[in-house]
Amino acid sequence: GAVVSQHPSRVICKSGTSVKIECRSLDFQATTMFWYRQFPKQSLMLMATSNEGSKATYEQGVEKDKFLINHASLTLSTLTVTSAHPEDSSFYICSARGTGSFHEQYFGPGTRLTVT
């Protein structure tokens, strides 16, 4: 099956710094990528949808100036958490969809962000 990778898998940063998370589709071209955030014992919460070459669409309540998303190529999307605070500590998961059907959405392994 299709593979989506994320890097890094874990990151610890100091409050006020920025962190970049990469999401790559390894063996297919992803026209659309999605970013989710998951707090402990909770479900995945959609943050934004990004299409290659265009601006991301953010869900209500997600600050687009704080969570910068770039989808510059068909295989790479990045999420940058700017001026991170401890409340941004979470598990960030990306998913990628190719040109196939609804269920052909593949998830990355996630990135654990801890802001100290």
Partner 1 sequence: LAKTTQPISMDSYEGQEVNITCSHNNIATNDYITWYQQFPSQGPRFIIQGYKTKVTNEVASLFIPADRKSSTLSLPRVSLSDTAVYYCLVGDENSGNTPLVFGKGTRLSVIA
Quick one: which H or E segment has residue 32? strand 32-38
Applying CB under 8 A, among 25, 30, 34, 79 the residue interacting with partner 1 is 34
What does the alpha-carbon distance between residue 1 and residue 39 come to, in Å, rounded to a whole number? 27
28 or 106: whose CB is closer to partner 1?
Answer: 106
The single residue listed with the structure tokens 């790559």 is: 24
- Which of 13, 20, 32, 114: binder of partner 1 (CB under 8 A)? 32
Which member of 37, 81, 95, 113 binds partner 1 (CB under 8 A)? Answer: 95
Give yes or no for a cis peptide into 8 (omega within 30° of 0): yes
Q: In what helix (H) or strand (E) does residue 83 lie, and over which residues does it extend?
A: none
Tell me which residues touch partner 1 (CB under 8 A).
Answer: 4, 31-32, 34, 36, 43-46, 49, 51, 91, 93, 95, 97, 99, 101-103, 105-110, 112
